[in-house]
Each structure stands twice: as C-alpha cells, then as structure tokens.
C-alpha cells in the first residue's frame, strides 16, 4: 500500500522524497562535525490526542511553537509566524492588521479549526477564523495538528487544527515588559505579570499594537476601490488565566481573553446620485473577540483522569464606511472528558461535547441557531517500537444532521533515531450560517463538505539534528461554493445560490530539517502543493505550488543575530496570477543585563513589493527597535 501511494504521487512529490534524503544526509554530516550535543526532551502536546502526551508518542504530523520561538521570531503577527511552519500558507488582505486566515495542506481557511485553550473561535457566519484579531503577546505556545482531525475536533478540521495556548503562571512573581517602535509609525507595548503562591497560579497580559500602515489596495485595482489614504490598525488585548489546586491533583481554572481590533481598509459605497461607486469614505473594521472558560482537571485515581470545561466565545465584526453592517457569533460549549491509562504506554480517551451557536447579522433573518452534540472515543498505545492511534467521533447537528468521522495511524521506530508513520482519516466542513441562511444566497439543504485523506511520513532526530518528510493526499467532495445558474437552485433564487459545486484534490509534500553547529542554529522547511479543482482541473485560488523558509541564528555571549528568508511561489487569484516573492527579515538581540534585552529587526529588508492577495499590497522595508525586561531574568 505504501509503495502504491508513493508511486501514484505526482513528480514533484517524488522529487521531495529525494530532497528529504538529501536533508537527512546533510544533517547527519553536520551532526558528526558539530560540537557536543545535548539531548532535548520531547515537548508535551495536547492537541494531537486531546490529552497531554510527549510529541514523539503521537502518530501524526504535529509540531509545537514554544514561547522562546515566539518571542525570538521576527514575525509581525500570528499568521506570519504560522506561515513559516511546514504545510501552512497564509491569505491576508494587505499588511499587518488586515483580515487574515491560514490554509493547512491546501485546504481553505474555512477548513482549519482554531482553538484558544480548547475553545473554538471564529465567525460562524463567514465560516472561518480571522487571525488578525489575536495578539502574539498573550500566547505561551501554539500547537499544530496537520491532516484530518474531525475525529477529534469535529466540523471544519479538514486541513487540521491550530491551538493557541495562553500564558499560565508558575514560580515566583514575574513582571515582564516589552516595548518597540517601527516604521509606518508602528508601535507595540505589552505588560505581563505571572506567578504562583501556594495553591494559586495566575498570569495576566495587557498589550497594545498600532500602525499607520499603507493603503491596503494598489492603485488601479480591478474594482475601483483604491483610496490613497493609509489603512492602519490598532489592536488592544487583555488576557487572564488563573487556577486553584483544591486538593492534590485537582485544579480549577479560569481563562479570559478580550481582543479588540480597529482597522481601516479600502472599499466603495454606491452613490445613487451619480450611479457610480464612491471609494472616498474611510472604511473600517471593528472586530472584537471575547473568550471565557471555566475548567476542572483532576486525577480520580492512578489510572483515571477527568476534565470538564464550560466556555463562551463571542466573535463580533462591524464593517463599513458611511454605514456599518454587523456579524455576530456566540458560542457556548460544554465538554466532559475522561482518560484511562490501565498500563504505561496505553491510553483510552472518551469525550462528550455540546456546542450551541447563535448568529446575528443584518443579512440573516432573525437570529439563527444550531446545536451540535458529539461523542469521541480515542486510543493511543505503544508496543515495542510500534505506535498505534485511533479516533472515532459522531456529530449530530440540528442544521445538517449526523456525521461520523474516524482516523487510524500507525508508527514504527525503525531505529532509535528514525521513525515512520502512516495515517488515514476522514473529515468534514460544516456549511456556514451564510451558506444556509444568507438572504438571496443561502440554501438550508446544503450538505457538509466531506474528505478522505492518507499520509505517510518519516522523522529523524539525533541530538540537535532533525529532519522529516510527509507525503499526503486529500480528496474533498461536495465543495461549497457559488452556483450562478438560478435553474440549478431551489425555487425563488434569481441570482444564483450556495451549492455543493465541486470536488478537490489536495496533495503534496512537506520537508523540514534543523541543525545546531556550534554557535549557529539552522532550520528549513520546503513545501510542494498540488491543489486543484477536480472538475475544471484548475489550481485552487491563493495556493502556491511551492513555499520555502530558511532561518539561521548565530549566538555568542550576549549577542544573538538572525536571518529568515521566506519564498512563496506564484498563486492564482481570480483571473490573475500573483507573482512569486521572497522576503528577508534580519534581527539582532543584545542581552544587556540578566533582566534586560535590546532588540532590533529589519523586516522585508530588500523592500520587496508583492501582493499577498490580488490588488492588495503589504508593507515595504520596516525597521524596529525595542526593549524587553523580565524581573526574574531573561
């Protein structure tokens, strides 16, 4: 089966296999000549199985971006940080602060689940999560699960899951401050307080970011929306996470996040007096995200662990120029979960979820609601070099009925440093409220998108040397889109409607490698993607056929100097093809004292002009200078 799968892949994937072997060989040579290596413990991950587990015990394409990596990155936003990880591409309507989504393995932004501390976020009307409203300052780490994950997390996990874990307090009181200023009148300030006292732990962050920006659109855009004014943004966030150990092994916690984004963009109103479009109003987005959750986790016995979480998420967008349209999503979720580990290396997980969604939008009649009830069963186990992971889930939704999904993964440690894996699974994307109920467009009988996916991969780790390759194929049917012919719509539609219009084939390869040689740290990712509409044969919009990231850092004494190159291939977008582009980011950090660090970075150092989306433009060269302080030491 493995041989058949590999031989059936397109030529670019076979070339990727050769490239992976080359990367492994290079890393092996480098490790032989490197300075003394230190063994690093595998990070613990929750998202891969819903329960904490060492990442090397999971069967899947998973990764963790830790706090150190986040603070050291030159990325200007969470979406740009994610873009530098394998298998992830970004769609953004302009520069920092503009609407943005991530696409895992060629799936749409609507086919990626985004969680904050286990709570699903995003707009149920648009059917996707806009990451522009989330600040990097409040994040402790980010966990990424690529591939089908509906068997663990339900609707929309076709491409995978991105889980954002906020900061949590521990140890003595820490007061940390970060401040920076940059070109385009950009500025950042965040204050973080954390610690623990007896049975209590606490962490709180306040942050503010702003920039005057550039015009979101280029002159001469196809719609005539260009306005020469600057389209800047302001983003303010507050986060608190605290807990109390009520008894040994039993913790009750609370988490709260409030994020507010105010951004400008280019558009146009219709002027009936002239019968023309008017692009002169100052168009703005007012985007608020609020997440509150209460949770309990406790060890019932040496074999049993139970957790309960109750949460509420509000996603609110008001958008317009002279008049504003509103889109509100409210989610209330209750999750119960139990894990049973009868012997070391064997674990069973059972979970039950209830999710109530309510939306309010000017274009929707009333306040539509839907309820989703789900049960999850999972197993993970290790047997003398073999690893097995299996998940099944049943969802019952009041709007579109029953959906069953499952995933099976097998891994094998071929040597102490080399492991292989194979994973197959099913997933689905639920129709959004706009797909179901939008006036003149939505169709209540539309079906969820369904997908079947298979992947094979290998990972190699020897001390500070790592390399990996993943080959995947995902077939998606019943793609939801626009049907322009009224004859193919239910009675009463005159201008087309939402419909299950197509099928898609998403296949590709992701390669990654990292190495530390003395004072140098090197890392690289290479992505090949073939994402096509099965009916027309055309490539899907905004998907690059290849994308690469290369980073190098040099550290010596109090200095750290680094560079990151991102190369994105050409992408179709409507009738246009966006040119490939490359960006170079440079940075330097100087640890002046145990508690204080001076930071400087030069983003897009070559001043590359490129379109992140058709007719949109991003920032040019941008210099930053900042300082970071921590009372307990950096």
Q: Looking at residue 440, what is its pLDDT? A: 87
Taking the CA of residue 605 as centre, how many other CA atoms within 13 Å lie in the half-sphere pointing to its CB? 13
- Token reading at 386: 């073999």
- Comparing 345 with 467, which gets the higher pLDDT? 467
Give the mean pLDDT of 269-277.
84
Query: CA–CA separation, 379 vs 57, rounded Å?
Result: 12
Q: Looking at residue 40, what is its pLDDT? A: 54
Query: CA–CA separation, 331 vs 311, rounded Å?
Result: 8
Query: CA–CA separation, 388 vs 175, rounded Å?
Result: 43
Place of tokens 């943004």: 233
Angle at 115 between CA 114 and CA 117, to 5 degrees: 160
How do 465-483 and 449-462 pair as beta strands? antiparallel
Q: Out of 4-18, 422-436, 500-514, which region has the weakest mean confidence (pLDDT)?
A: 4-18
Residue 435 and residue 446 in contact, taking contact as beta carbons nearer than 8 Å: yes
Indicate the pTM of the whole model: 0.90
Closest to 570 (Cα-Cα) out of 598, 610, 521: 610
Which strand (E) or helix (H) includes residue 70? helix 67-72
Q: Looking at residue 366, what is its pLDDT? A: 65
Strand locations in 518-595, DSSP E? 520-533, 546-556, 559-568, 571-573, 576-578, 581-591
pLDDT tens-digit readout, 159-207: 999 999 999 999 999 999 999 999 999 999 999 999 999 999 999 999 9
Q: Looking at residue 337, what is its pLDDT? A: 97
Closest to 135 (Cα-Cα) out of 291, 253, 282: 291
- Token reading at 205: 């962050």
Q: Where are the alpha helices (DSSP H) in 400-500?
A: 433-437
Query: CA–CA separation, 451 vs 514, rounded Å?
Result: 32
Q: Where are the alpha helices (DSSP H) in 372-441?
A: 433-437
Residue 144 and residue 88 in contact, taking contact as beta carbons nearer than 8 Å: yes
Place of tokens 């992701």: 510
When pLDDT is cut at 50, 70 and 90, the band that residue 451 belongs to is very high
Residue 227 and residue 215 in contact, taking contact as beta carbons nearer than 8 Å: yes
Residue 54 and residue 44 in contact, taking contact as beta carbons nearer than 8 Å: yes
Closest to 336 (Cα-Cα) out of 393, 291, 375, 390: 375
Q: Which residues contact 584 (CB under 8 A, 6 or more apart)?
A: 563, 564, 565, 604, 605, 606, 608
Predicted confidence (pLDDT) at residue 33 exceeds the cutoff of 60: no
Q: Out of 41-45, 137-141, 143-147, 469-473, which region has the weakest mean confidence (pLDDT)?
A: 41-45
**Which residues make beta-bridge pairs with 315?**
289, 329
pLDDT tens-digit readout, 10-19: 444 444 444 4
Query: CA–CA separation, 506 vs 27, rounded Å?
Result: 29
Taking the CA of residue 309 as centre, how many other CA atoms within 13 Å lie in the half-sphere pointing to its CB? 26
Q: Looking at residue 96, what is its pLDDT? A: 85
Q: Which residues contact 443 (CB under 8 A, 6 or more apart)?
A: 435, 436, 489, 490, 497, 498, 499
Q: Looking at residue 634, what is its pLDDT? A: 87
Q: Looking at residue 61, what is its pLDDT? A: 94
Superfamily of domain 2-630: TonB-dependent receptor, beta-barrel domain (2.40.170.20)
Closest to 286 (Cα-Cα) out of 81, 114, 130, 75: 130
Predicted confidence (pLDDT) at residue 528 exceeds the cutoff of 50: yes
Q: Looking at residue 361, what is its pLDDT? A: 85
Query: CA–CA separation, 170 vs 59, rounded Å?
Result: 30
Query: CA–CA separation, 236 vs 258, rounded Å?
Result: 8
Q: Looking at residue 29, what is its pLDDT? A: 34
Q: Looking at residue 7, what is its pLDDT? A: 41
**Which residues make beta-bridge pairs with 589?**
560, 599
CA 19, 25, 63, 386 torsion: positive or negative?
positive
Q: Which residues contact 411 (CB under 8 A, 6 or more apart)?
A: 59, 386, 387, 388, 389, 419, 420, 421, 422
pLDDT tens-digit readout, 338-370: 999 999 889 999 999 999 999 988 777 666 899
Q: Looking at residue 306, what is its pLDDT? A: 97
Residue 454 CB coordination number (10 Å): 19
Residue 210 and residue 187 in contact, taking contact as beta carbons nearer than 8 Å: yes
Gap between the terminal Cα atoms of the chain: 50
Query: CA–CA separation, 207 vs 258, rounded Å?
Result: 11
Place of tokens 């999904």: 405
* DSSP secondary structure letters along 97-126: TS-EEEEETT--GGGEEEEETTEE-SBTTT
Q: Looking at residue 30, what is its pLDDT? A: 35
Using DSSP's 3-state secondary structure scheme, residue 350 falls into strand
Q: Note the residue count of the chain.
A: 634
Place of tokens 């099976």: 408
Closest to 320 (Cα-Cα) out of 285, 288, 351: 285
Q: Looking at residue 41, what is its pLDDT? A: 60
Which strand (E) or helix (H) includes residue 285? strand 283-299
Residue 126 and residue 432 in contact, taking contact as beta carbons nearer than 8 Å: yes
Which strand (E) or helix (H) includes residue 316? strand 304-320
pLDDT tens-digit readout, 70-116: 998 999 889 999 999 999 999 888 888 888 889 999 999 999 999 99
Closest to 317 (Cα-Cα) out of 128, 166, 76, 138: 128
Name the percent of the chain lying above pLDDT 90: 75
Place of tokens 């999503």: 329
CA 269, 274, 276, 281 torsion: positive or negative?
negative
Q: Looking at residue 260, what is its pLDDT? A: 95
Q: Looking at residue 6, what is its pLDDT? A: 39
- Token reading at 579: 């040119």
Q: Looking at residue 39, what is its pLDDT? A: 44
How do 160-166 and 112-116 pair as beta strands? parallel
Q: What is the mean pLDDT of the chain?
A: 90
Q: Looking at residue 365, what is its pLDDT? A: 66
């Amino acid at each position: 089966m493995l041989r058949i799968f590999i031989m059936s892949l397109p030529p670019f994937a076979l070339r990727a296999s050769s490239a992976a072997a080359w990367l492994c060989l290079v890393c092996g040579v480098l490790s032989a000549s490197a300075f003394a290596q230190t063994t690093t413990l595998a990070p613990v991950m929750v998202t891969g199985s819903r329960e904490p587990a060492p990442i090397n015990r999971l069967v899947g394409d998973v990764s963790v971006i830790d706090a150190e990596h986040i603070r050291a990155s030159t990325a200007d936003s969470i979406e740009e940080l994610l873009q530098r990880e394998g298998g992830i591409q970004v769609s953004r309507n302009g520069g920092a602060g503009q609407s943005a989504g991530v696409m895992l393995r060629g799936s749409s932004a609507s086919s990626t689940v985004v969680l904050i501390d286990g709570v699903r976020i995003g707009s149920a009307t648009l059917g996707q999560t806009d990451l522009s409203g989330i600040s990097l300052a409040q994040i402790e780490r980010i966990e990424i699960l690529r591939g089908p994950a509906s068997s663990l997390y339900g609707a929309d996990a076709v491409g995978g899951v991105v889980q954002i874990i906020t900061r949590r307090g521990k140890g003595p009181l820490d007061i940390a401050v970060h401040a920076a200023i940059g070109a385009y009148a950009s500025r950042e300030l965040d204050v973080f307080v954390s610690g623990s006292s007896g049975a209590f732990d606490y962490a709180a962050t306040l942050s503010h970011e702003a920039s005057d920006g550039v015009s979101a659109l280029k002159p001469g855009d196809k719609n005539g929306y260009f306005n020469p004014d600057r389209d800047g943004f302001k983003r303010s966030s507050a986060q608190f996470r605290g807990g109390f150990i009520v008894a040994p092994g039993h913790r009750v916690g609370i988490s709260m996040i409030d994020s507010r984004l105010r951004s400008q963009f280019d558009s146009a109103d219709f002027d009936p007096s002239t019968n023309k479009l008017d692009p002169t109003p100052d168009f703005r987005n007012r985007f608020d995200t609020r997440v509150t959750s209460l949770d309990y986790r406790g060890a019932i016995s040496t074999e049993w662990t139970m957790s309960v979480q109750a949460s509420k998420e509000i996603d609110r967008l008001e958008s317009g120029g002279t008049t504003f349209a509103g889109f509100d999503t409210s989610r209330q979720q209750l999750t119960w979960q139990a894990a049973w580990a009868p012997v070391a290396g064997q674990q069973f997980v059972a979970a039950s979820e209830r999710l109530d969604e309510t939306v309010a939008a000017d274009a929707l009649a009333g306040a539509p609601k839907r309820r989703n009830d789900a049960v999850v069963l999972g197993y993970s186990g290790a047997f003398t070099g073999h690893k097995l992971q299996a998940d099944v889930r049943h969802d019952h939704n009041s709007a579109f009925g029953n959906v069953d999904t499952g995933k099976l993964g097998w891994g094998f440690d071929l040597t102490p440093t080399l492991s292989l894996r194979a994973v197959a699974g099913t997933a689905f994307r639920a129709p959004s409220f706009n797909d179901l109920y939008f006036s003149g467009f939505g169709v209540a009988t539309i079906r969820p998108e369904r997908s079947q996916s298979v992947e094979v991969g290998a990972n190699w780790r020897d001390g500070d040397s790592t390399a990996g390759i993943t080959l995947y194929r995902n077939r998606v049917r019943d793609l939801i889109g626009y049907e322009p012919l009224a004859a193919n719509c239910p009675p009463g539609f005159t201008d087309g409607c939402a419909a299950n219009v197509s099928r898609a084939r998403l296949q590709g390869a992701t390669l990654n490698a990292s190495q530390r040689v003395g004072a140098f740290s090197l890392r690289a990712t290479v992505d090949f993607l073939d994402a096509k509409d099965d009916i027309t044969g055309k490539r899907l919009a905004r998907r690059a056929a290849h994308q690469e990231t290369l980073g190098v850092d040099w550290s010596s004494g109090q200095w750290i100097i680094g560079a990151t190159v991102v190369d994105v291939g050409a992408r179709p977008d409507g009738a246009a093809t966006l040119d490939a582009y490359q960006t170079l980011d440079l940075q330097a950090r100087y640890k002046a004292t145990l508690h204080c660090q001076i930071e400087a970075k030069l983003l897009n150092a070559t001043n590359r002009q490129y379109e992140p989306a058709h007719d949109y433009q991003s920032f040019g060269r941008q210099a930053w200078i900042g300082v970071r302080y921590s009372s307990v030491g950096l």
